[in-house]
Structure 1
Amino acid sequence: MNIQISDIGHMIQLAIAPVFLLTGVATKLTVLTNRLARIIDRTRVLEDRLQIGPNDAYTDELETLYTRSHLINYAITSSTACGFLVCLVIAMLFVGDSANIKLDKYIAAFFVLAVFGLIFSFMFFLREIFISSRFMRIRHDASLVPGERRT
């Protein structure tokens, strides 16, 4: 197996698009983990307050936070699976090209699976945002003085 410099350049060119996708997935994972950290911090505060005394408002918010944390965890899992599959695609591109192994069907299948992982991650993320926004609207509406105009 004698790999020339031009062959390495060609392999790198093949791997560029998946690497950009991997960068986007890594950035998305950062956003998701930051949201999860905020949810966990708020949950700890509310659980501490509930130990002082029961409060229905805290209990309702905790239920919402638990639901949100599950959705974020699903989104993180889907994004991580996507990143893992993209890494496998990049590795298969290099191995297939350098060893003259026909991996094109596997590469295509893993790439499609990676994109599905990304789609599911966005769906879970969007659902979590909807729940968060709905809860904030409910809290805002409950805090309005009767007769006050809503903006």
Structure 2
Amino acid sequence: MASPFLPSLAQVAATVELAVAPVFLLAGIGAFLNVCTGRLARIVDRARGLEPRVLASRGSEHDRLRDEARLLDRRMRVCNRAIFLAVLGAVLISLLVILLFVAALSDLDLGTWVALLFIAAMLATGLSFATFLVETRLATAAIRVSEEVLFHEDQRD
């Protein structure tokens, strides 16, 4: 008879099988984090390039550039929130995998905790995706051409 602290190979293999799906989920979240950090880096670069132009400008140009800087600042905050939520989801999934092995090694019934961790991980990950969607909508709004430019009559005739 196997001791609860010395699991059989079959028990360990079954636990590894259970842990495979959450581990693949971690890989997906890692790829998503790569996308988010790339976007954040581009936003930061754009904001740094914009700062001297804001300080050197006057009048309506200054107002336009300041508004763009404010939008970039908002996008940075939203992107950081998406990154935080994705990392939180990854941490919760890591805890879930650890809990699966603790349950298998100790013969404890931790099913409720595993389910709750999975729900929390999916909630954090889903909120991260939703937050990322907000950031992409902000970015799309920022690149629209203003009506002033689209309908400006050329006065050089």
TM above 0.5: yes
Q: Which amino acid aligns with 1:134?
A: A
Mapping 1:97-136, distance limit 5 Å: 97-136=104-143
What is the Cα deviation at residue 140 of structure 1?
5.3
1:28 aligned partner, one-letter code: F
Aligned to 2:34: 30
Q: Deviations over 1:36-61 (max 9, x none)?
A: 11111101011122233342221111
Residue of structure 2 in register with 1:143 after alignment: 149
**Greater C-alpha Rg:** 2
Letter in 2 for 1:97: A
Instruction: Report the TM-score, using the length of structure 1 for normalisation.
Output: 0.90
Deviations 1:8-34 (A, max 9, x none): 211110101101111111111111111
Which secondary structure does the structure 2 equivalent of 1:17 belong to? helix
In structure 1, runs of 5+ residues without a counterpart are: none
Query: What are structure 2's unaligned runs of at least 5 residues?
Result: none
Does residue 15 in structure 1 map to residue 15 in structure 2?
A: no
Between the aligned residues of both structures, percent identity stands at 32
- SS of alignment partner, residue 109 of structure 2: coil
More deviation in 53-62 or 23-32?
Answer: 53-62
When the two chains are superposed, the root-mean-square deviation of aligned CA atoms in Å is 1.5
Find out whether 1:63 has 2:70 as its counterpart.
yes
TM-score (norm 2): 0.87
How many positions carry a matched residue from both structures? Answer: 146
Runs of 4+ residues deviating >2 angstroms: 50-54, 139-147
